[in-house]
Amino acid sequence: MAPHDYAKRKAKKKQHKPAVSRFVMLFTLLVSIAFVGGLLMLSQQPDDTKASKVVAEKTASKNTASKPIKKPQATAEKTDSFDFYTLLPDSQVTPGKVEAYLSTPKDPNKKTNTLLQAGSFRRLADADRLRARLILLNMPNVVAEKTTSNSGSVWYRVRIGPFSNRSTLNKAEDILAQQGIESIRINKTSN
The answer on 181 and 128 residing in a single domain is yes
Decide if pLDDT at 179 tops 70: yes
Average pLDDT over residues 1-14: 65
> In whole numbers, what is the pLDDT of the chain averaged over residues?
80
| pLDDT reported for residue 76 | 47
The answer on 85 and 38 residing in a single domain is yes
The answer on 86 and 31 residing in a single domain is yes
The answer on 163 and 120 residing in a single domain is yes
**Per residue in 35-90, pLDDT tens?**
999 999 988 877 666 666 766 777 766 655 555 555 555 554 555 567 777 777 77
What pLDDT band is residue 111 in, cutting at 50, 70 and 90? Answer: low
Rounded to whole angstroms, how far apart are CA atoms 186 and 119? 12
On the CB side of 18, how many CA atoms lie within 13 Å of its CA?
6
The answer on 85 and 122 residing in a single domain is no
Decide if pLDDT at 178 tops 60: yes
Average pLDDT over residues 115-142: 93
Which CATH number is 161's domain given? 3.30.70.1070
Give the per-residue SS3 of 95-119.
CCCCCCCCCCCCCCCCCCCEEEEEE
The answer on 26 and 86 residing in a single domain is yes
- Is position 41 within any domain? yes
The answer on 129 and 163 residing in a single domain is yes
Which of 90, 122, 143 is the last residue before a domain boundary? 90
Rounded to whole angstroms, how far apart are CA atoms 149 and 167? 32
The answer on 122 and 63 residing in a single domain is no
- Is position 13 within any domain? no
| pLDDT reported for residue 163 | 84
- Is position 107 within any domain? no
- Is position 26 within any domain? yes
Q: Which domain holds residue 47?
A: 21-70+81-90
The answer on 66 and 119 residing in a single domain is no
- Is position 145 within any domain? yes
| pLDDT reported for residue 165 | 83
Decide if pLDDT at 33 tops 80: yes
Partners of 160 in the beta sheet? Answer: 116, 142
| pLDDT reported for residue 191 | 47
When computed from its CA atoms, the radius of gyration of the chain, rounded to whole angstroms, is 39
The answer on 171 and 128 residing in a single domain is yes
- Is position 30 within any domain? yes
User: How many independent structural domains does the chain possess?
Assistant: 2
- Is position 161 within any domain? yes
The answer on 128 and 167 residing in a single domain is yes
At position 43, the amino acid (one-letter code) is: S
